[in-house]
Amino acid sequence: MARGFDSKDVESQIEQREADRRQRSTPARTPEEIAREGRRESLLLTRARVQKDLTAARHPRHREQLEAALRHLDAELEKA
């Protein structure tokens, strides 16, 4: 019985060391970088949704609105 517990303990120690090593090798990001990445991800998700809506849109006015939204999102992504 004890052997099973020991192997699990060793396994958890190995996993912890690997996690610590990954954390040390990853440079710390500033709050601004995290916010910028979050905003960019949000813009990309929104763009994907608008693009999907555009493929399904039938009414010309709705298509114009979606195309304008895509242009706006592309401009925002350029800034981000």
% residues pLDDT > 70 (the chain): 85
Q: Please give the torsion angle defined by the CA atoms of residues 35, 41, 42 and 46, in that order, rounded to the nearest 10 degrees.
A: 160
Are 39 and 6 in contact, with CB atoms under 8 Å apart?
A: no
Q: Which residue has the tokens 């996690």?
A: 19
pLDDT in tens, 52-76: 999 999 999 999 999 999 999 999 9
Q: What is the residue extent of each domain of the chain?
A: 37-80
Helices (H) and strands (E) in the chain, counts: 3, 0
Residues with Cβ < 8 Å from 29, sequence gap 6 or more? Answer: 37
Higher pLDDT, 2 or 20: 20
Alpha-carbon gap, residue 19 to 53, rounded angstroms: 41
Amino acid at position 59, single letter: H
So what's the pLDDT on residue 5? Answer: 56
